[in-house]
Amino acid sequence: MAIEEWDLLEFFGVEPKVEGDTTWPYNDFCYEVEREGFSLSFALNPANSDITMTLRCGEQTVYELVALSVKDIRTRSIEDGSQVLEVVLADGDVLSLVVEPTITVNHRYASST
């Protein structure tokens, strides 16, 4: 995985919730942000490349993803200067996430056949 702890701190702009004293990458790190009535929870276990992501509007879950052994997680800048977090689930299967100024989730899948 290309992602490092400081990349996620910069991207989400919040400290993660962590259980216990175990450090990166051998623990679960949960980042939570709220924007315009939406809340996002993004949990990562870097050692296993596992993620859980939940997007809510108020109390209603509108999107949830549990992905085990993802291929890669990385950040990149886009034209307007925003940062995008990309989760490569498999070849051609990418989840893109933006949290500033609003939360945006884009899931793209392109079959190789």
What confidence tens digit (pLDDT) does each residue in 13-66 have?
A: 999 999 888 888 989 999 999 999 999 999 999 999 999 999 999 999 999 999
pLDDT in tens, 52-65: 999 999 999 999 99
Contact assessment for residue 56 and residue 38, using Cβ atoms and an 8 Å cutoff: yes
Q: Total structural domains in the chain?
A: 1
Domain range for 83 is 5-109
Distance CA 55, CA 62 (A): 6
| Rounded-to-integer distance, Cα 11 and Cα 6, Å | 8
